[in-house]
Amino acid sequence: LLIDSLIFGILIINKFSKLLLKVVILYMNLQAAIGAYYDFESPNISVPSMSFVEDVTIGEGESIPPDTQFIKTWRIQNSGAEAWPPGVCLKYVGGDQFGHVNMVMVRSLEPQEIADVSVQMCSPSRAGMYQGQWRMCTATGLYYGDVIWVILSVEVGGLLGVTQQLSSFETEFNTQPHRKVEGNFNPFASPQKNRQSDENNLKDPGGSGFDSISKNTWAPAPDQTEQDQNRLSQNSVNLSPSSHANNLSVVTYSKVGMHSP
């Protein structure tokens, strides 16, 4: 009786094992069938590629004071074989956001093209270490490419904000038009001296050292000079001795003294 019971149990277990094996095989085939169906029916979606090149932020590595505006700039590259679709953006995905900006639009890059992307940020109000993550995203919400990390050290004596302000002032100064100064111009001299210095620096084509304009401006006219000389000569000739006879006296000297007739 005991042997019959063992044989019956083995047969039941064997049948159950075969049934269980069939169920497992059927389940696996079902999963494979479902996966194959979705792979066949789903459209072929090409995911863009993006590689992080470097952080080109002005003052990178310096700490920043609390509640200070700054600009973070990254250099990225389209490392794929196709151009990016229109409407892509760099989007905040986690960690500390550093301000109210959570997305910046990025132009469509051609394959292997490199571009810089900047985000306006603001440091937290308390000192400490902070970090956040940003990623590229398509217009349909598909994230792609490397994760861009923002690691920020906030300190009271930080110099990042000042460094970026000085760089901004320098850039603005270099882009403004400047007045070209020639000759011996002295900003502290009177306007008359500067004018005379500029006129002395002018050279005529003949190499005489004086410009014709300078000659005409400062040299007296030949006719006027000749008239003045003739007038002076005439006045000296027309002097009458009789008209001055009453005003003249002859003085003689002797050994004893001086006598006037």
Tens digit of each residue's pLDDT (9 = 90 or more) over 206-236: 544 444 444 444 455 555 555 555 554 554 4
Bigger pLDDT: 64 or 203?
64
pLDDT of amino acid 258: 45
Tens digit of each residue's pLDDT (9 = 90 or more) over 1-29: 555 555 555 556 666 666 655 665 666 56
Residue 25 host element (H or E) = helix 2-41
Percent of the chain scored above 90 by pLDDT?
33
Mean pLDDT of the chain: 70
Q: In terms of Cα–Cα distance, which of 148, 119, 121 is closest to 66?
A: 121
CB atoms within 10 A of CB 214: 16
Q: Are 69 and 125 in contact (CB under 8 A)?
A: no
- On the question of pLDDT at 56 being above 70, the answer is yes
CATH superfamily of 51-173: Immunoglobulins (2.60.40.10)
What is the radius of gyration, based on Cα positions, of the chain?
Answer: 50
Percent of the chain scored above 70 by pLDDT?
41
Bigger pLDDT: 75 or 200?
75
pTM score, two decimals? 0.49
Model confidence band, residue 159 (pLDDT cutoffs 50, 70, 90) = low
Residue ranges of domains in the chain: 9-42, 51-173, 186-223
Tens digit of each residue's pLDDT (9 = 90 or more) over 236-260: 444 444 444 444 444 444 444 444 4
* CA 223/CA 242 separation, integer angstroms: 34
